[in-house]
Structures are given as C-alpha cells and as structure tokens.
Amino acid sequence: MARMKSTSFVSLKFTKTKHLVCRARINGFNASLLVDTGASNSCIHSDLQELFQLKPKGNSFDAAGASEGKMTATMTQKCELHLGRHKLGRHAFVLLDLNHVNQTLRTQGAKPIDGILGADFLMKKKIVIDYGKRKLIL
C-alpha cells in the first residue's frame, strides 16, 4: 500500500486591509510577506536588500505594477526561503520599491510588509490557499 504524504501548512493572517500575510525567513532573517496571486513575481522591498543579504543578478529592468507606472526592478540570485517552519528551498526574488504599498497599508492602519509572495512561487510549489482556514497548503 502506498504511503500518503502528510499535508503541511503555513498559517496566514488577515490584515486590517483584508490582505493575507505569512511569516517567512529569507536567508535566516524574519520577513512578512503579502500573499498575492495576482503578482506575477515574488518581490522584496529594495530598501531591504542588505538586511536579507540578497545579491543582485543581472541588470535592472522596467517592471509594472497595478498601482504605479514603470518601476525599476532587479532580479536577485536564489536565496534560502522558509515559510513558517518549512524549508522550501532556494528562490529568486525581484527587488522592487514597495514604499507606495507600505504607505497605503500604514494609512489604513495595517503593518508594512517586507515583500510579496507571487504567482511564480505559488505555482512552482503547487501551493493551495485555504481562505476559510487561513492556511497555505504545501
């Protein structure tokens, strides 16, 4: 009889703005990541590049977001990523100025975020979001 793999999950928190946020560790440093299925790429606030010891890879490029015009972005080399207590391997992020996102969150009484967990990561790892139980199912 085949042995079933146990389901792992990561708890999510709803913010005051009704966004889903999870706790993570990037290269061993604590991070707060907004879960956004509409974001094509996972990104980290560019001001936090040194904090998370992220190394750029390649040249900067123009990126577009839902609320801003063109923004300058830089890809990072792959780094160690943990969600909750689960080591999920190495993942590259886009360094992006998230000041406009954090300013909006602050004006609505929510805490700022360090980055966004986007569709690139969610699809690659085949993650399911259980909105009712507020969990990422790995």
The predicted-structure confidence for 80-133, as pLDDT tens digits, reads as follows 999 988 898 999 999 999 998 999 999 999 999 999 999 999 999 999 999 999
Task: List the one residue out of 114, 107, 103 whose CA is nearest residue 25.
Answer: 114
For the chain, give every domain's residue range.
9-137
Helix or strand or coil: residue 53? Answer: coil
Query: Which residue, among 43, 65, 63, has the nearest Cα to 54 in the 3D structure?
Result: 43
Q: Mean pLDDT across the chain, nearest whole number?
A: 88
Reported as half-sphere exposure (CB side, CA atoms, 13 A), residue 23 has a value of 9
- 9-137: what CATH class? mainly beta
Residue 17 has pLDDT above 60, yes or no: yes
How distant is the alpha carbon of residue 138 from its chain centre? 15
CA distance 65 to 44: 14
Residue 65: which pLDDT band, with cuts at 50, 70 and 90? low
DSSP 58-99: EEEEEEE-SSSSEEEEEEE--EEEEETTEEEEEE--EEE--H
Q: From the CB of residue 134, how many other CB atoms can be counted at a distance below 10 Å? A: 15
